[in-house]
């Protein structure tokens, strides 16, 4: 039983940490898992990241509780600074590079939304979480934008805004423009949403997470009674429906679409049959070519969000 604000924030943080650990552990083609590593990024780097990020998730949850209890404005949450702090801690505690920038951008608002929902005395339902997520992301500020840009540069990802038509994170003039023109983080994500699914989740109220991932995961878990199988199949389902934007940025949209079609073929075949499992193994090998150039990392980030919502709502492995 949760007794006070500290317990509630710790509960939320623990749920999100568990989601990261489970997501990193399950086999997802083209990604690091307990069974497969990259040459420079290994499974233990994700475990270290899950431990490192705990204070930031707890702070995010506390801010959600604080907004309600103190009757403060959502624009005072400083979600950008929370994200930057998380990225800083993750970088300090492991040497595997960018392990979970996208996951951090998805889960920090979820932590705040969970805090708001529980402070309001409501259940952690999909509708309540989405309602609060919408308020949180739409209330961001230009200061959040600057903090987020610094977080991205610190993480050195495969180009979240690296080829942006404007407000490129690597352009030294971008931060000046953000402050002068009062451009919020939500505004920036509206710009990047067409070519980045993490941004699109913010702008579309986590549509992929709630409308594709969550129902498919719940139904598949009910049928298979296997967390590993349900997670892998949900990964394939999302990948088949939404071409991975990390692949698009690295290898082009045609390659991303080709990989989505391969995921769809595996789903049609099913993983219960040897032919389906062989197709999955072949896809995994293909995605690891050219130094993991075809890594569907954005899809993995969204899987972490799917697991986080399930765990917040009471799922236990």
- The angle subtended at Cα 242 by Cα 50 and Cα 278, nearest 5°, is 80
Q: Where are the beta strands (DSSP E) in the chain?
A: none
Write the pLDDT tens digit of every residue in 201-210.
Answer: 999 999 999 9
- Contact predicate 301/98, CB 8 Å: no
Question: Which residues, 6 or more positions from 175, have their beta carbon under 8 angstroms from its beta carbon?
Answer: 145, 146, 149
Question: Do 220 and 230 contact (CB within 8 A), yes or no?
Answer: yes
Write the DSSP string, 213-267: IHHHHHHHHHHH--HHHHHHHHHHHHHHHS--HHHHHHH-HHHHHHHHHHHHHHH
Among the listed residues 53, 83, 41, 31, the one whose alpha carbon sits nearest the alpha carbon of residue 238: 31
Q: What is the pLDDT of residues 115-162, one digit of tens each?
A: 999 999 999 999 999 999 999 999 999 999 999 999 999 998 864 444
* Residue 1: predicted pLDDT: 42
Answer whether 216's CB lies under 8 Å from 234's CB.
yes
Provide the pLDDT confidence category of residue 273 given band limits of 50, 70 and 90: confident
On whether the CB atoms of residues 275 and 267 are closer than 8 A, the answer is: no
What integer is the mean pLDDT of 45-68?
98
**Domains of the chain: which residue ranges?**
5-211+298-312, 215-296
Q: What is the DSSP letter of 100?
A: S
- Domain 5-211+298-312 - what CATH class? mainly alpha
- pLDDT tens column, 286-304: 999 888 889 999 999 999 9
């Amino acid at each position: 039983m949760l007794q006070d604000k500290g317990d509630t924030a710790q509960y939320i943080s623990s749920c999100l940490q568990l989601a990261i650990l489970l997501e990193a552990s399950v086999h997802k083609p083209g990604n690091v898992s307990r069974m497969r590593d990259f040459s420079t990024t290994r499974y233990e780097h994700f475990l270290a990241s899950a431990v490192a990020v705990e204070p930031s998730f707890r702070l995010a949850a506390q801010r959600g509780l604080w907004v309600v209890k103190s009757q403060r404005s959502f624009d005072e949450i400083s979600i950008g600074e929370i994200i930057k702090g998380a990225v800083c801690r993750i970088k300090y505690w492991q040497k595997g590079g960018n392990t979970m920038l996208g996951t951090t951008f998805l889960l920090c608002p979820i932590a705040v939304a969970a805090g708001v929902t529980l402070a309001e005395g409501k259940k952690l339902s999909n509708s309540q979480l989405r309602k609060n997520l919408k308020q949180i992301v739409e209330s961001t500020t230009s200061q959040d934008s600057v903090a987020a840009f610094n977080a991205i540069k610190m993480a050195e990802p495969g180009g979240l805004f690296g080829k942006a038509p404007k407000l490129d994170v690597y352009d030294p003039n971008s931060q000046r423009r953000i402050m002068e023109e009062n451009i919020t983080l939500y505004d920036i994500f509206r710009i990047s949403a067409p070519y980045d699914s993490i941004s699109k989740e913010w702008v579309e109220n986590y549509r992929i997470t709630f409308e594709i991932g969550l129902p498919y995961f719940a139904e598949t878990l009910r049928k298979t009674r296997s967390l590993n199988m349900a997670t892998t199949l949900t990964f394939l389902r999302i990948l088949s429906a939404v071409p991975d934007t990390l692949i698009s940025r690295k290898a082009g949209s045609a390659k991303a679409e080709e990989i989505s079609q391969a995921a769809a073929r595996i789903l049609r075949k099913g993983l219960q049959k040897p032919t389906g499992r062989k197709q999955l193994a072949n896809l995994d090998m293909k995605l690891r070519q050219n130094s993991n150039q075809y890594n569907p990392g954005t899809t993995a980030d969204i899987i972490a969000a799917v697991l986080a919502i399930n765990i917040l709502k009471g799922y236990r492995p």
